[in-house]
Amino acid sequence: MLYFNCSRLWTERCQDVLQGQPLSPSKTPNWYKERQQWTKVKRNFVPGDIVLIVDNSAPRNFWIIGRITEALPDRRGLVRQVQIKTQTSTLCRPVTKI
């Protein structure tokens, strides 16, 4: 009997998740809380900003410094990629790597 109840509960939970429907308040566990991913609006990168270029294979004190020459926004206006001018080249990087 206990196995049947656990199995049914798990099946209902999987169906809710697979269908993309949020949990109803009656099925929501008391430890579950909705959280926003972004709590503050951060400033977008603009041309002229000086940045460090992340290189996972090098220590932080050896990362390259560059200047943003162009900011490439997405449909919502948030900058997702930038063009960076370094001493030797021009790179196009996502903002998560600078």
- Per-residue pLDDT of 31-63, as tens digits, reads 666 666 666 777 889 999 999 998 889 998 999
Do 53 and 38 contact (CB within 8 A), yes or no?
no
pLDDT bin (cut points 50, 70, 90) of residue 1 is very low
What residue ranges do the domains of the chain occupy?
Answer: 50-97
Stated as kind and residue range, the H or E segment containing 82 is strand 79-85
Place of tokens 């390259």: 64
Q: How many residues does the chain have?
A: 98
Place of tokens 């948030």: 78
Single out the residue of 91, 6, 80 nearest to residue 42, CA to CA: 80
b/e per residue 28-63 (b: at least 16 CB within 10 A) = eeeeeeeeeeeeeeeeebeeebebeeeeeeeeeeee
Of all residues in the chain, what percent carry a pLDDT higher than 70? 60
